[in-house]
Structure 1
Amino acid sequence: MSQSRPNIIYIVADDLGYADMGCYGGRDAAFGPVSPVLDRLAANGLKFTQGYANSPVCSPTRFAMITGRYQYRLRGAAEEPISSKSKDSTTLGLPVYHPTLPSLLRANGYRTALIGKWHLGYPPVFGPLKSGYEEFFGPMSGGVDYFTHCSNNGTHDLYVGEEEKSEEGYLTDLLSQRAVDYVNRMARQDAPFFLSLHYTAPHWPWETRDDADVAQDLDGKLFHVHGGNIHTYRRMIHHMDEGIGWMVQALRNSGQLDNTLIVFTSDNGGERFSDNWPLVGGKMDLTEGGIRVPWIAHWPAVIAPGQESRQHCMSMDWSATMLDAASVAADPAYPLDGISLLPVLHDARNTFLRPLYWRMNHRGQRAMRLGDWKYLRVDGVDYLFNIEADERERANQARRDPSRLNTLRTAWESWNDELPPIPEDAGISLAYSIDDIPQR
């Protein structure tokens, strides 16, 4: 290849907890390290310890990842998350006219592919090929069985492009194998590539490679509230980690690793079997456990090994970073809300103050992080936490420091006033509830 712009691989896990991996403090499983490949990528690259998802639930974060903008600007992202019941909707999805990370890169010479979860609206109105990806292999919905590839309503959900495709195998491995094939094919091209590798692991149903019988037991119902355990969950992460290793080896064998920016994260905080220590809460929560996620960047040509950063960032900032790394400008009609982290990748000492905002229809949640401090509202109650001193959000400082609380609350309300209101008919998942919030 003669191209000098980096290849970009954006790996997104589903419902992965902040401390599920060894490099974020996770403990070994009975079989050994849970995430040795990702741990090595972190050791040889840059690890962010104060990075966030744009939402504590999947499809809203994915709207932010693909647009580089606050998801609240689009109607479909008001769903928490988009449900399989919206299959016939013409509004609940990513509008095909909206510029995206893959469409902007593709218009500037990149090859583009999504291997894995889409969850941004259903065909025929919405879909990956309509929003910038040249190739797609994976499920359209939020979660599918790892063996039958059926969604929670029992409908088969595995596609190649826009065609439904039946294929035998454990879904995590199928995605990894496709990624290896894509990397090998791109090595023969004279253009850089952008690959979104969006796993469904370790999202329920909790099934390892050896659990095909569990798929039969589920009878098409994916919530799997009666099943799963921490051992199965950690093995699922390990399967994903192994597949990432296959892809990294393919990059190395084809001479592409040095000039490939690999970014790894999760779409939101962890679920019932996750390890979020020392954080409180999980999926659907604006407490730290629901929104703080791993962020690893590996790019040997640019990033020095062994780096760590406390720079605050969220999902849409990485979209801006990838465009910046590729020397691609945003569409001026759709300016980015994300801020490029490229200076931090070049030198982890290049930090800057970055306010972060969230809102959720579920339980009227809102949050803002600025510096050491976080403003949080749940069920009409306001909280103020010094996250630097109190990552578990146990000591509410609202009464002790009312002036700071008012400043952050006013800033959040000013930000919120600039965005469309949450529609009254926006859907909320009832499968999750917020973890214990300390009382005032």
Structure 2
Amino acid sequence: MTNIIYIVADDLGYADLGCYGGREAQFGQVSPNIDQLAEEGMLFLEGYANSPVCSPTRFALMTMAYQYRLRGALEEPINTRSKGSTTLGLPPHIPTLPSQLQKAGYHTGLIGKWHLGYPPHFGPRASGYDEFYGIMAGGVDYFTHKSGRGDNDLWINEEEHQEIGYLTDLLSDRAVEFVHRRADSADEKPFFLSLHYTAPHWPWETRDDAEEAEKLTHLYHLDGGNIHTYRRMIHHMDEGIGRIMAALEEHGLTEDTLIVFTSDNGGERFSDSWPLVGGKMDLTEGGIRVPWIVRWPKVVKPGSVSMQHCMTMDWSRTLLEAGNGEVDPDYPVDGVSLMSILNGDSDGFERPLYWRMKHRGQRALRMGDWKYLKVDEHEYLFNITNDARERANQSKLQPQRLEEMRQSWLDWNETMPPIPEDATVSLCYTTADMPQR
């Protein structure tokens, strides 16, 4: 059976990686190991996240369904007020990608960011992971591992854990140890590893910034950071991925290990999303279009590039199929398997993608070349294939298409629970504060 590693970066911009056109020549190579995954596998140029903000995307990743179906995912995102809540989290009775792979015979582990509700009511091991090492919150200091509330937020399973070290390196260390341990395990179970880095999420700290981190008074750190620090944070993550690949190679596991790399949403203040505009919290392309890279030598042709439209829940559905897991019939999913794309049986298929956000009343629908977008009561229609920067609003030139896409979004929205009035929007930073190009 195939081993599976699902790597998720945090707030990574669409073009931050070399393989997506990052600024390699000016600043030096930042992501050689991730770029190599793309060279040895398939790179998707028009793949998306389920949300432009972190925890809603993670709900979709876990459930393989639109996050809007669950109350906790209607927060944008879940914040520290959810501590002790019995509703703001991923309910343990909901089938998940890891729980269904467990049933298919996998040993499952989450290393890194959870951000789907706090114990005792919620947690990784209540939702299908055999083991957990990482953080529960949306972001922590990379050295003290304290959340925005000032409390320690590093955990092993359900127990708080104290450990000295730069968080990105600690997560990489634990992932390498996981690979070695599972490769040598007597139970011979295949493994599913979710490796959810916090890099390059704020606070902007490299592994050499311990002294500066001691002076930090607020994690949001909006007066700090720079492009060089941000890129080094990505590089630290990339180095860890290289070490994981070396561990797989040592045990002869590289050929039949399926590796997927992505981000939970678009980038923040220092990210590169060219040619896209917008970022985290926005349903413009820069907020939702993210890298998707898959390496699976036994199935995927190396050096492949796909224009297939897809989003987070589709990839989780694909990984379930790759692991011979089954969807629980009592909890149907919205994700569509991409297996026909990976194995070369199909060049692509129609895949409409829907989004909504309480923040600024945003709506979006991507269907074929076209995108319907609504922000602050203003409606837009873009041909994304010709206008990835979303500058030429075609709504007045194509009123019929606008009406059809608006109605399609409304019809879809009727199938989703409404956003409750008490759902919160946590705005530590938005692209509204960013100078426009």
Normalising TM by the smaller chain, what interval?
over 0.9
Pick aligned residue for 2:127 from 124, 127, 131: 131
Q: In structure 2, what is the Cα distance between the partners aligned to 1:434 and 1:116?
A: 26
Aligned-partner Cα distance in 2 for 1:336–1:249: 35
Distance in 2, matches of 1:104 and 1:60, equals 20
Once the two structures are TM-superposed, the CA of residue 430 in structure 1 deviates from its matched residue by 2.2
Structure 2 partner of 1:34 = 30
Partner of 1:112: 108
Distance in 1 separating the partners of 2:220 and 2:260: 29
Cross-structure match for 1:169: 165
Work out the CA distance in 1 between the residues paired with 2:225 and 2:77. 22
Q: Tell me which of 139, 145, 160 is aligned to 1:143.
A: 139
Residue 147 of structure 1 and its aligned partner are, at CA, apart by 0.2
1:383 aligned onto 2:405: no
Distance in 1 (CA, whole Å) between partners of 2:108 and 2:176 is: 15
* SS of residue in 2 equivalent to 1:383: strand
Match of 2:253 in 1: 256
Q: Residue in 1 aligned with 2:315?
A: 318
| Alpha-carbon distance between aligned partners in 1 of 2:327 and 2:422, rounded to the nearest angstrom | 31
Residue 380 of structure 1 deviates from its aligned partner by 0.7
Task: List gaps (5 residues or longer) in structure 2.
Answer: none
C-alpha distance in structure 1 between counterparts of 2:412 and 2:207, whole Å: 45
Change (3 A) 1:285 1:348: farther
Task: Give the Cα–Cα distance (whole angstroms) in 2 for the partners of residues 435 and 225 of structure 1.
Answer: 14
Aligned 1:30-429 pairs, distance under 5 A: 32-189=28-185, 190-219=188-217, 221-347=218-344, 349-429=346-426
Structure 2 length normalisation: TM-score? Answer: 0.97
Q: Deviations over 1:398-436 (max 9, x none)?
A: 000000000000000000001100011000012233549
Name the CA shift for 1:118/1:304 in 2 (closer, same or farther; >3 Å): same
How far is the alpha carbon of 1:349 from its aligned partner?
A: 4.6
Once residues 128 and 436 of structure 1 are traced to their aligned partners in structure 2, the CA distance between those partners, rounded to angstroms, is 34
> Could you say what the CA RMSD is over the residues aligned between the two structures, in angstroms?
1.2
Q: Give the letter for the 1:43 counterpart.
A: E
Q: What percentage of residue pairs aligned between the two structures are identical?
A: 67
Equivalent-residue separation in structure 2 for 1:256 and 1:111 (angstroms): 16
- Kept in 1, the 8 Å contact 2:56–2:73? The answer is yes
Question: Given residue 72 of structure 1, which amino acid in structure 2 is its aligned partner?
Answer: Y
Structure 1: gaps (5+ residues): none
Amino acid of the structure 2 residue aligned with 1:37: N
CA distance in 2, matches of 1:436, 1:84: 24
Q: Which runs of 4+ in 1 moved over 4 A?
A: 434-437
AA aligned opposite 1:171: L
Deviations 1:40-60 (A, max 9, x none): 100110000000000000000
Partners in 2 of 1:160 and 1:427 — Cα distance? Answer: 29
Measured after TM superposition, the shift of residue 27 of structure 1 is 1.2
Q: Deviations over 1:343-388 (max 9, x none)?
A: 1111175310000000000000000000000000000111000000
Question: For residue 10 of structure 1, what is the amino acid of its counterpart?
Answer: Y
Deviation larger for 21-30 or 247-256: 21-30
Counterparts in 2 of 1:349 and 1:318: CA distance versus 1, 3 Å = same
CA distance in 1, matches of 2:363, 2:222: 28
User: Which stretch of structure 1 is more off in the superposition, 179-188 or 340-349?
Assistant: 340-349
Q: Distance in 2 between matches of 1:345 and 1:203?
A: 30
Q: Is the 8 A contact 2:60 2:313 kept in 1?
A: yes
Number of aligned pairs? 432
**What is the rounded CA distance, in whole Å, between the counterparts of 1:419 and 1:137 in structure 2?**
33
One-letter amino acid of the structure 2 residue matched with residue 56 of structure 1: P
Question: What corresponds to 2:17 in structure 1?
Answer: 21
CA contact (8 A) 1:15 1:268 kept: yes
